[in-house]
Structure 1
């Protein structure tokens, strides 16, 4: 019998906020996604801004069929079946199914059942590491699904109208007479100078959701209310996830916020909503499904879910970041909310939210916006703590400072800085939306990710009119065009304070929409021409 080896980065700690219920029943059927290595290493910088077609990507950077065959042999040897329909060489994902007992023997783990004490969700998990026979180990990058603990939370916050506004701890404007007020997403786009000659026509915005749902009637009511047509919205199931509305206190607020904000900014764009279970397996499978979706073809993907970077396994962090690298190579921009719990991200230290901390996504922080008619009167860091939340931000413990960010960060920064950009997120200056038939005012950095996704869809429409490829991985361009942002210099998110230039509260600042579109159009067109 071949000796077994431990897979790197697979150490899992016992679940926090969970009650141990005993061993997972041996006959329970479990599905795992085995992420297989690429044919060749992928480094976005070596592409020098070039976007790959799906055919080019698959030829160079998909999984090797021989590695899939290797995993099929592994599965057969351990009494597991291969779900070929759910497996994909471009996604580098081969899906195995079997009983808990067979999975334990195959991967050298002991599965236990738990109940999440906060959400009352039951799940299975393991402590320790994963091992496999040494003949199969080199092909495997990650094994997802042996731990099904909830990994992320939606980053939206409802305005608490029951609280006394004068007693809410929040960052005050320098002009005392200014009072925050909620806006429609259309008004926010106007305040930020989003181009009015573009509407996202010909583009698809992807939105990732790990729970909740939307109703057609809610969307029709909302868009009629802001004087726009209702976009074409398609629900895509990943790993059995589905559009499941009906809980007004659950994630419906996230789902409908995302659709209504993105659809207000880029009203003629199609919207594809990828629903997946709230696990690291579901999260990563949803990203790879969206990025390699040749039916809906999203050119930008908005993610408003995440969790403390420190709570993820190293293998899951690597696998998800690699999926985001694939997105960049294929010309898909990913926008991610930076979190709503300030510099601690709900922990006892200074922790950034993941996947916002991935160096291959656009991390979106939050501000509080004060308007004077149709213009911005003032903008400060969103900080309503301890009751109302604050923008996430700080420095990654998993990723080094990217080259494109190095000159913007404070001297001596050890990790990737979060966020990159920001926008209106305070519930006090939040977004008027419709959720489960009721009007609500909702904020959170969850609103900022779809806001930028809509803006990028406008940029991609402009690029398409120039016969240029989509914007793709835009971070280097944005850091070279800091003047395309409103610099936020007032406020803090706990451990970090805003100041001139990039900061760990609001990044480069809030958008000057037309200037960002112009900058992206110029850079992408130049790269496409090879000049």
Structure 2
């Protein structure tokens, strides 16, 4: 008799507004990926605590060293292979460095292997998807070896954090939109073109048109960067022709990074919008031995409450690997204020809430000539969007946020009870947004999605000038004094801006040359 063990954190429930519409076809083939434990976890944890403390003597690991010392053990991979063979599943790909094994088989085979029941569901906003309830089970010899089983369900996991400007007349006398180069000048970015750097961008759908990119960079008078599309699982560069859909996100991200670092290579990792797709794409970017991005920009996310804890932990452990490799990850903090659009109280957005990313919030910016005249928390009201920010319920307070408090809109403040979000900010209001070209149309876009690539571009310039990656930057930024424009006006719902760090704009918007000095 083989004992089965429920996989911790794999519990799925039916969310409100979801109904079962039928059985899955048992003969349909799907791919599921299994994440394994890390070798020498205790030694890795010790390394991470030094990185989190900002210890300057820690050198980034090479991708080869990470794979050898902290990848998946050959014995563990062999156990998954044996398990797959016993259930008629095939091993489609194994990546010891990323600690992942991709399995392929029929729905019937996976249902029996992991003791789950897969059904087709319908949800009023998510549409139709394959889902499950309850936990995933694994046999004795995989108990403690497998950390996550992802891809059994393919419900849409995340949403892009961009907003297209509503069609109304901008206020007279104010510059109502900026090119990324104008913002780089206002934020005093150090000179540079990102030569020799690769910036990774993770996208869960949509695509870009090369004609848009060529026309856009030509209009700015900058060289066109090398843009590579990297398909992950069944993903690829598939523009839909709808600028309001994911194309808007993809094109915005590339145009902002490309304008700031035109001599860089931009690797765009396209995948399916599911927790499995999202996690696999970030993993492929972090462990990419061909393009080797030194900074990765993520403009997608979802409230912490909609992630299973196994997905969140699997994702977070990949973000830890990035920190160990010296790869900086910039993530948008969300566009729906302190509730993150969750409908249920205050929530922060994940992956921005991971302590291993630089979480990027939003401001509303007014400028005159070459200087900023006013910068406040981005909050354009219920319909218009606001900077995501607040306190994580999933992650404890990191070393570099000890002693901080979140200022409340109603007055007063409370000490952080978890990781505070965001870390930094930048222009994000569509009313003062970014001029970009999407699907042939000149458009003004905002959202914290624009801030992640803006910071990624800054970090790529700093990396190029330094000749080595700055890596995990949070500890250094929190220690440094006066490297950001402190935002002290406005709120994002429950939280208010205040002197120093706050749960709307973090430390503030970049003073690029000072950030470079601190890193």
TM-score by length of 2: 0.94
Question: Is contact 1:223-1:229 (8 Å) kept?
Answer: yes
Shift of 1:425: 0.2
Q: 1:53 aligns with which of 58, 62, 69?
A: 62
Question: Is contact 2:404-2:416 (8 Å) kept?
Answer: no
Q: Distance in 1 between matches of 2:110 and 2:483?
A: 52
2:233 matched to 1:239? yes
Q: Distance in 1 between matches of 2:17 and 2:356?
A: 30
Q: Distance in 1 between matches of 2:318 and 2:62?
A: 16
- Structure 1 residue matching 2:141: 3-state secondary structure: coil
Partner of 1:12: 12
Relative distance call for 1:308 and 1:255 in structure 2 (3 A) is same
Question: Is contact 1:423-1:510 (8 Å) kept?
Answer: yes
Runs (4+) of structure 1 exceeding 4 A deviation are none
Shift of 1:99: 1.0
Q: Distance in 1 between matches of 2:30 and 2:71?
A: 25
Q: 2:149 aligns with which of 135, 143, 147?
A: 143
Partner of 2:217: 223
Shift of 1:95: 0.7
Question: Is contact 2:164-2:244 (8 Å) kept?
Answer: no
Shift of 1:117: 2.5
Shift of 1:178: 7.0
Shift of 1:247: 2.5
1:440-461 CA distance string (max 9 Å, x none): 0000000000000000001111
Shift of 1:313: 0.2
**RMSD of aligned alpha carbons:** 1.4
Q: 2:263 aligns with which of 258, 263, 268?
A: 268
Q: Which moved more, 1:379-388 or 1:108-117?
A: 108-117
Shift of 1:134: 1.4
2:104 matched to 1:108? no
Q: Distance in 2 between matches of 1:215 and 1:374?
A: 32
Q: Distance in 1 between matches of 2:14 and 2:288?
A: 35
Q: Distance in 1 between matches of 2:443 and 2:17?
A: 30
Partner of 1:528: none
Q: Distance in 1 between matches of 2:425 and 2:481?
A: 12
**Count of aligned pairs between the two proteins:** 501
2:243 matched to 1:248? yes
Question: Is contact 2:403-2:415 (8 Å) kept?
Answer: no
Partner of 2:90: 81
Partner of 1:204: 198
Question: Is contact 2:170-2:176 (8 Å) kept?
Answer: no
TM-score by length of 1: 0.92
2:156 matched to 1:156? no
Q: Distance in 1 between matches of 2:404 and 2:515?
A: 18
2:436 matched to 1:433? yes
Q: Distance in 2 between matches of 1:19 and 1:491?
A: 40
Shift of 1:180: 5.5
Shift of 1:17: 4.7
Q: Distance in 1 between matches of 2:459 and 2:257?
A: 10
**What does 1:434-473 align with in structure 2 at a 5 Å threshold?**
434-464=437-467, 469-473=468-472
Shift of 1:107: 0.7
Partner of 1:388: 384
Relative distance call for 1:340 and 1:17 in structure 2 (3 A) is farther
Partner of 1:363: 359
Shift of 1:132: 1.3
Shift of 1:385: 1.6
Q: Which moved more, 1:227-236 or 1:108-117?
A: 108-117
Shift of 1:479: 0.4
Question: Is contact 2:126-2:155 (8 Å) kept?
Answer: no
Q: Distance in 2 between matches of 1:24 and 1:482?
A: 57
Q: Which runs of 5+ in 1 are unaligned?
A: 167-176, 521-531
1:311-367 CA distance string (max 9 Å, x none): 000000000000000001111100000000000011221000000000000000000
2:276 matched to 1:294? no
2:498 matched to 1:508? no
Q: Distance in 1 between matches of 2:346 and 2:481?
A: 26
Q: Distance in 2 between matches of 1:257 and 1:189?
A: 15
Shift of 1:436: 0.2
Shift of 1:266: 1.2
Question: Is contact 1:408-1:501 (8 Å) kept?
Answer: no
Question: Is contact 2:386-2:492 (8 Å) kept?
Answer: yes
Relative distance call for 1:23 and 1:344 in structure 2 (3 A) is same
Partner of 1:36: 36
**What does 1:454-493 align with in structure 2 at a 5 Å threshold?**
454-464=457-467, 469-493=468-492
Q: Distance in 2 between matches of 1:247 and 1:97?
A: 33
Q: Distance in 2 between matches of 1:37 and 1:340?
A: 34
2:400 matched to 1:404? yes
Q: Distance in 2 between matches of 1:50 and 1:117?
A: 49
